[in-house]
Structure 1
């Protein structure tokens, strides 16, 4: 967990520095002397680093909390099993709703006694 906190702090510092430099360059209307090829290569490297960071932090989080991920997966699997198959030939959406209403008495009218 300390590793994730360390990554979070370092990233927040990097983001703050980039945002400050963007504001500074905007106010001075500065232009870079780097070629377009150099800029593209740097941006590609940053994108690769970003992808590696995302993958590594997801793997680290999974290792730190394997139980919570397995419980979430079990709940999702259970929800899928409980969802009616409305595309089947035997159940239609209306039939499912009617069966569900009749079993819970929702939507049924009561007769008034005079």
Structure 2
């Protein structure tokens, strides 16, 4: 096999496996939904941050990660994501975002198991 052809095959193989590796590292959002009306979607995980939108009962909130913030209802967990109905992206107190999995309603700490830390 000539060196040009060998380099092409090796390069294509590297790109193929590199693409697979990169695709595997992407983190998919975890679907949840708001369990109350008028839930603030904020620029950061504290109540002093600007409200950029609101979530309403049963609207889907696609969570990409969780972080600690202001204590709301006994939980400091906040989730970051996008309201599927409005497109607004930001943070909401996790006690107001129900996981679509086996989470307990209103149990914000459960998001630690469903989404990565921000």
TM-score bin (small chain): under 0.3
The structure with the larger Rg is 1
Please, what TM-score do these two structures have when normalized by structure 1?
0.25
Q: Identify the structure with the greater helix proportion.
A: 1
Please, what TM-score do these two structures have when normalized by structure 2?
0.24
Q: Identify the structure with the greater strand proportion.
A: 2
